Chains A and B, each alone.
Chain A
Amino acid sequence: MSQIEDEYKKRFNQQELSNGDFDSEGLWGAIAEDLDQTQPKENQQKRRFLFFFLLLTGALIGTYYFSTSSQQIVENTVGNYANTDSNAEANTEANAEANVNTQKALNSLVLSSKEAEQQNLPTKTAKKAAPTAESVKTIHATPELTQAPLKESRAVKPLATIEKEVRSTRTNEIRSTVFPVENNSTKKQSVAAEKQPVENLNPPAPQAIDRMSMSLSTLPTLLSFVKSDADLQVPLPVLNRESDPLKKEKSFAWQIGVWGGSNLINFNYKSDNSPDLAKLKAQAETGELGISLGLNTTLSWKNRWLFNTGIEYHRLWSKFETKQQKSIQINKENQLLKAWTDGFTGDTLNRQYGDITIDGIATRTVVHYNQYQQFSIPIEIGLQQTSQQLVYGVTLGGILNFTTKQSGKTLSKDAAVIDFDTNNAMAPFKKFSIGLRVNPFVGYRISTAWTIKVHPQWTWQAGANFDDTDLKLNIHQFNLNLGLAYSFD
């Protein structure tokens, strides 16, 4: 080290400048203000993530609400009807009052169903009244109930009236049902249906007479012919939920899915000032197969329009390969340097050997596998078409990418091989970026709830900003994924 270098090191290494007239308080004030005002980027990212997480949760809850509320209204209406009917049966101990009570009770059904509709109060009371969803499928009439109309022909009238009224209000959604009723010995139980106007109402007990299925619309006609309980034991086919014309078609449906697949990235560099460097960098790094995994949820409207979101994990790989040439000096030992020959005979008289150094060019090939790790949240809208068991369509939209890890080798602005990691300015991915996504899909319904899907994807995102060059990087990602989705009815 020369004298001047020594002097530099001696003077400036570990040098400290006394504050003197330097305004250290003013500087501290500015620093404190900066620390107070702006939040660290990481916190901002966390907040963004939290925001989208809450958005996602809200979407799921909203979807769940929409998909279940109309079903609850159906249960509520039917449950009230069933309860009322069995309560009417309980009142047939006094035959004279039976018809009146039945009418009252059934009228209350209409009231309840209307209330349920108007007040949208559906759920808990209704669920209590309608013990299980399965019970919604059948009608049960009790002997007492059916005997009452036989004694007084006008007793048929309320049922028919009720039927009409119920149908006129909300019966499109009703599967006409009467529940099993209890024996007389268990009748004096507490009243479960709070809003029934009928006194002495008893809830139905689980022990019951044989079930009999029938359509509510056939009940009045049937009642005019029956003479005993046995006549009522006419089984009717259970209504098929899927094909029930009375069932209201739901507008919204909710689907969740899981998928996995393989990905391939492509780096596309552009530069106005250094096109050669852009070309060199693009040639040096080529995509390799990586893996992608994801969970997604899709809200469909009228089985046609889609809103899709979820969370994805991508493990991306690329191969960095470049050849570098370097001037080197090669030592060769024991080489012939000189030879002396006899001028007359031409014989070699003496030879001189020694080591020589020659200039050469060494070519070095650098091969390295770069790796990147991303978490993404897609927000897409789309369209789908259904043809028998086949579902196909496309979703497109934006994608929020969070790059959590990246490491490998790349070329610097001087085309030298350098290492990069997550925090390095030469790393190709931004820590956070917004991209675009196109996601066509084809699915096959293996059952009413389960669908297998194949969906290729194309995703675009802008690469990092390289401070000291005008390089621009576009990253394209291609995926081929296989997924399984479950639909909530």
Chain B
Amino acid sequence: MEVDYDLIQSCIAQDRKAQKQLYELLLPYLRAIANRYLRDTSYIKDVLQESFVKIFRSLDKYNFDKAPLKQWAAKITINSAFNYNKRVIGVPKEEFVVASHETPILPANVQNWTDDDLLLTLKKMPEGYFEVFNLFVVDGYAHEEIAVMLGISEALSRKRLSRAKAWLKKNYEKIDLRAQPNRSSIS
């Protein structure tokens, strides 16, 4: 996705056509981001609306040299999604417990999982682990950046990541074990 300087300047000048063009360029990527970071995806339109308004309003502060526009816009969307998660779900005190009826019946090999299965598993992670895992493993943010984004220390970010990985490993094994008989029954 290429976003040229002129397009950004037109957007800053409140040119609606240019803004729509940029919106169309960014939408598929930001939709994926919002879909992944939102615990409840029914708010995806709200999050995207809020994010795009923020993007257009603060476009004059965007620095070309610091980061690609896509990454800068993604950060805004991620923050909006976090805010929605807090507003809608709140901050749970205890870890999420995976209810048995919600456990997906999954193939033994993770490569055969659908994207939705993977996301569903990811979203069952306890609050805190989920964000750090997503930011670090999937989007490649450094702990330093994660600390700033989440308002936590770098050490805590590292700790949460290792716990997230441990949680995933533990739950993946559970899912895997459960998946075997189902798979055989299907076959």
Asked whether A and B interact, the reply is yes
A370 to chain B, nearest CB (A): 16
| B10 interface contact, C-beta 8 A | no
CB contacts under 8 Å to B, within A2-34, are 2-5, 7-9, 11-19, 22-24, 27-28, 30-32, 34
Taking CB atoms, residues of chain B closer than 8 Å to A27 are 27, 45, 48-49, 52
Q: Which residues of B contact A482 (CB under 8 A)?
A: none
The answer to whether A414 touches B152, judged by C-beta atoms less than 8 angstroms apart, is yes
CB-CB < 8 A to A3: which residues of B?
Answer: 110
Q: Could you tell me if A425 and B115 are in contact, using CB atoms closer than 8 angstroms?
A: no
Quick check: A416 and B153 within 8 Å, CB to CB? yes
Is A381 part of the binding interface, using a Cβ–Cβ cutoff of 8 Å? no
Range of interface residues on chain B? Answer: 35 or more
**Cα of A320 to Cα of B91 in the assembled complex, Å:** 28
A419 at the interface (CB under 8 A from B): yes
Partner of A7, one of B29, B36, B45, B110: B110
User: Please, which residues of chain B bring their CB within 8 A of the CB of A17?
Assistant: 28, 31-32, 35
Quick one: which of B49, B122, B147, B172 has the most chain A CB within 10 A?
B49
Q: Is A418 an interface residue (CB 8 A)?
A: yes
A23 to B45, CA, bound (A): 9
Within 8 A of A (CB), among B117-143: 118-119, 122, 137-140
Q: A27-B48, A27-B49, A424-B148 are in contact. Are A418 and B153 (CB under 8 A)?
A: yes
Residue contact B27 to A412, C-beta cutoff 8 Å? no
Check A468/B28 contact, CB under 8 A, given A17-B35, A27-B45, A418-B148: no
Contact A31:B151 (CB < 8 A) given known A11-B118, A468-B86: no
Q: A16-B29, A18-B28 are in contact. Are A32 and B16 (CB under 8 A)?
A: yes
| Set of chain B residues within 8 Å of A417, measured between Cβ atoms | 153
Q: Which residues of B contact A235 (CB under 8 A)?
A: none
> B49–A14 contact, CB under 8 A?
no
If over half of B's interface residues share one DSSP class (helix, strand or loop), that class is named, otherwise mixed; here it is: helix
- Within 8 Å CB of B16, what residues of A? 32
Q: In whole angstroms, what is the CA distance A15 to B29 when docked?
A: 6
A354 is an interface residue with CB less than 8 A from chain B: no
CA distance A30 to B45 in the complex (A): 10
B151 in complex: contacting residue of A35, A40, A425, CB < 8 Å? A425
Q: How far is the CB of A325 from chain B (nearest CB, A)?
A: 12
Once the chains are docked, how many angstroms separate the CA of A468 from the CA of B151? 10
Contact of B140 among A13, A34, A426, A467 (CB under 8 A): A13
> Is B183 on the interface with A (CB-CB < 8 A)?
no
* B80: Cβ under 8 A from any A Cβ: no
* Contact code string A391-425 (vs B, CB < 8 Å = 1, else 0): 00000000000000000000011101111000011
User: B residues 34-91 with Cβ under 8 Å of A?
Assistant: 35-36, 45, 48-49, 52-53, 56-57, 83, 86, 91
Asked whether, in the complex, the Cβ of B147 is within 8 Å of the Cβ of A13, the reply is no
**Interface code B83-105, partner A: CB below 8 Å = 1, 0 otherwise?**
10010000100000000000000
User: A residues within 8 A CB of B45?
Assistant: 23, 27, 30
Q: Report yes or no: B151 in contact with A12, Cβ–Cβ below 8 A.
A: no
**Closest partner residue, chain A, to B122 (CB atom):** A8
Would B23 and A413 count as touching, CB distance under 8 A?
no
Q: Given that A7-B118, A28-B23, A31-B52 are contacting pairs, would A12 and B152 also be in contact in the complex, using a CB cutoff of 8 Å?
A: no
Residue of A nearest to B137 (CB): A5
- Which among A5, A18, A23, A31 is the interface contact of B165 at CB below 8 angstroms? A5
Q: Is B20 an interface residue (CB 8 A)?
A: yes
Given A31-B23, A416-B155: A7 touches B49 (CB 8 Å cut-off): no
B122: chain A residues at CB < 8 Å are: 8
The answer to whether A35 and B153 have CB atoms under 8 Å apart is: no
Which residues of chain B have C-beta atoms less than 8 A from A418's C-beta?
A: 147-148, 151-153
Note all chain A residues with C-beta closer than 8 A to B147: 418
Which chain A positions have C-beta within 8 A of B24? Answer: 24
B156 within 8 A of A: yes
Cα A5 to Cα B147 with chains together (Å): 21
Q: How far is the CA of A23 from the CA of B31 in the complex (A)?
A: 12
Q: How far is the CA of A1 from the CA of B110 in the complex (A)?
A: 14
A8 contacts B137, CB within 8 Å? yes
Q: Which residues of A contact B156 (CB under 8 A)?
A: 414, 416
Q: Are B148 and A31 in touch, CB under 8 angstroms?
A: no
Q: How far is the CB of B94 from chain A (nearest CB, A)?
A: 16
Tell me whether A30 and B49 are in contact (CB under 8 A): yes
- Return A247 CB to nearest CB of chain B, in Å: 58
Asked if residues A15 and B165 are in contact (CB atoms below 8 Å), the reply is: no
Contacts of B139 in A (CB 8 A): 13
Known: A24-B27, A28-B23. A7 touches B113 (CB 8 A): yes
Top 10 nearest A-B pairs by Cβ distance? A416-B153, A16-B28, A15-B32, A17-B31, A17-B32, A40-B57, A31-B52, A34-B53, A12-B138, A16-B29
13 A-B residue pairs with CB within 8 Å = A7-B111, A11-B115, A12-B36, A16-B31, A17-B28, A17-B32, A23-B45, A24-B24, A27-B45, A27-B48, A414-B156, A416-B156, A467-B83
Chain A interface residues toward B at CB < 8 A:
1-5, 7-9, 11-19, 22-24, 27-28, 30-32, 34-35, 40, 326, 412-414, 416-419, 424-426, 467-468
Given contacts A4-B169, A23-B45, A467-B86, 16 further A-B contacts (CB under 8 A): A2-B169, A7-B113, A9-B138, A12-B32, A12-B36, A12-B118, A13-B138, A15-B29, A15-B115, A27-B52, A31-B23, A326-B155, A412-B151, A414-B152, A419-B148, A425-B151
